[in-house]
Chain A
Amino acid sequence: MPTVRLSFTPAPVHVRTARLVGVAVARRAGVAEGLLDEVRQAIGEACSRAVALHLRYGLSDLVMMEMSDTPEYAVRVTDRAPVVEAVRTLPDADVLGISPNGQAADALSEEAVAAGMALALLTALVDDLQVRPAAEGAGTEVRMTWPVSRFVR
């Protein structure tokens, strides 16, 4: 059961709001201060990805972000883009193989590079990352969790 839920039109300008809300709820939930930069980055990446998918498909549906703090801080970002496309456009690890002279990156558009970076950041910054078809309806959900210190509440 989410404690805070935020829905926003798929516009890049709202991703900053999502980051601010996500970090505020994380702090309130008792996520360690030292982890908040990672929470902010990961939420930003997940929400940017959802917005980009909606824009690519011309979807006006809201992007949904749900946060819960029991038993850990969990954030779920749900888009409504076709699942096949969403999974296919999940960046692959090729981008990580960029050579010092940037050869590998030459073949990729900025967008593809950014998508690869987004996955690299999500997998590195979130211990427990799950990307799967949305529980209801079309779309994909990105679920991320971080530990909380109960006594902070």
Chain B
Amino acid sequence: MSMDLSLSTRRAGDHTVLQVGGEVDVYTAPRLRERLIELVDGGARRVVVDLGAVEFLDSTGLGVLVGAHKRLRAANGSLSLVCTREPLLKIFRITALDQVFPLYDTVDSAIAADADPAQ
């Protein structure tokens, strides 16, 4: 395993938080894809991907996030992103993905905004 990407998962109520750190690029993005697929296959439906510790994100990583968004939507789930770093926000704006993903400043606000009204 490379040190370039870190992934850690935790539960927060009915949400699954995937904290991503380091660099998400053409080399490391497949590991992010695998982890997201594992989570959905394992039953996770409300997923928050915390990009707060991501130092670099390329188009391959964006493709993986879009793929996860589609898988979760097909399963009546949701994918929210936590992102505050301006270089990353700029990438989401350029690619218009800020119109696709709900983007939040903190994990707590992402979870609060995605609360299940039935709960």
Spell out A's residues near B (CB within 8 Å): 12-13, 15-16, 19, 37, 40-41, 44-45, 48, 51-52, 95-100, 102, 105-106, 110-111, 113-118, 120-121, 124-125
Mark each residue of chain B from 33 to 53: 1 if its CB lies under 8 Å from any CB of chain A, else 0. 100000000000000000000
Q: Which residues of B contact A40 (CB under 8 A)?
A: 56
Spell out B's residues near A (CB within 8 Å): 2, 4, 23, 25-27, 33, 56, 58-60, 62-64, 66-67, 69-70, 73, 87, 91, 94-97, 99-100
| A100 & B99 in contact (Cβ 8 Å cutoff) | yes
Minimal Cβ-Cβ distance residue in A for B66: A113
| A16 & B67 in contact (Cβ 8 Å cutoff) | no
Minimal Cβ-Cβ distance residue in B for A40: B56
Q: Which residues of A contact B87 (CB under 8 A)?
A: 37, 41
The distance in angstroms between the C-alpha atoms of A55 and B24, with both chains bound, is 19
Residue from the list A48, A96, A97, A102 in contact with B69, Cβ < 8 A = A102
Max chain B Cβ within 10 angstroms of own Cβ: one of A15, A37, A110: A110
* Nearest chain A CB to B5 CB, angstrom units: 11
A-B contact sample (16 more), CB < 8 A, given A96-B95, A116-B95, A121-B94: A12-B26, A13-B2, A16-B23, A44-B25, A44-B26, A100-B99, A102-B66, A105-B70, A105-B100, A110-B63, A113-B63, A114-B63, A115-B59, A116-B59, A120-B96, A124-B94
Q: A41-B91, A120-B94 are in contact. Are A48 and B64 (CB under 8 A)?
A: no
